[in-house]
């Protein structure tokens, strides 16, 4: 049934897609991400989440604030990666 399928290795598209982002911009985005994540991780008590989607009472605990802040950090940098792709605007 699985003849001919390489089931031992997960497919990787990263090298193909990463070639579309200039290496210097990718390095810059990575550096910013790790710096901002380090700030979150080293001082979680100082986290302030200003996004109204996380204004409910359930988001006031330390763990919930960390989850919300990490979500916002990830989405910010994923958008930066999408914007960094070297292609026309229609493709973005």
Give the integer Cα–Cα distance in Å for 84 and 21: 6
User: Are 21 and 85 contacting, i.e. CB atoms less than 8 angstroms apart?
Assistant: yes
Q: Given this model, what pLDDT does residue 45 score? A: 85
Query: Rounded distance, CA 33 to CA 91, Å?
Result: 25
pLDDT at 37: 96
Positive or negative, the CA dihedral 66, 72, 73, 74 is: positive
- pLDDT (tens digit per residue) in 35-85: 999 999 999 888 999 999 999 999 999 999 999 999 999 999 999 999 998
| Helix, strand and coil in the chain, % to nearest 5 | 60, 0, 40
Q: Is the pTM of this model over 0.85?
A: no
Separation of alpha carbons 37 and 54, rounded Å: 19
Which residue ranges make up each domain of the chain? 19-84
The pair phi, psi for residue 91, each rounded to 5°, is -70, -35
């Amino acid at each position: 049934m699985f003849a001919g399928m390489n089931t031992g290795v997960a497919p990787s598209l990263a090298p193909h897609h990463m070639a579309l982002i200039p290496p210097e911009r990718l390095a810059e985005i990575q550096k910013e991400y790790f710096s901002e994540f380090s700030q979150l991780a080293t001082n979680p008590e100082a986290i302030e989440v200003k996004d109204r989607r996380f204004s409910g009472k359930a988001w006031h605990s330390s763990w919930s604030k960390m989850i919300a802040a990490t979500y916002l950090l990830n989405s910010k940098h994923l958008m930066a990666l999408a914007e960094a792709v070297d292609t026309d605007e229609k493709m973005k």
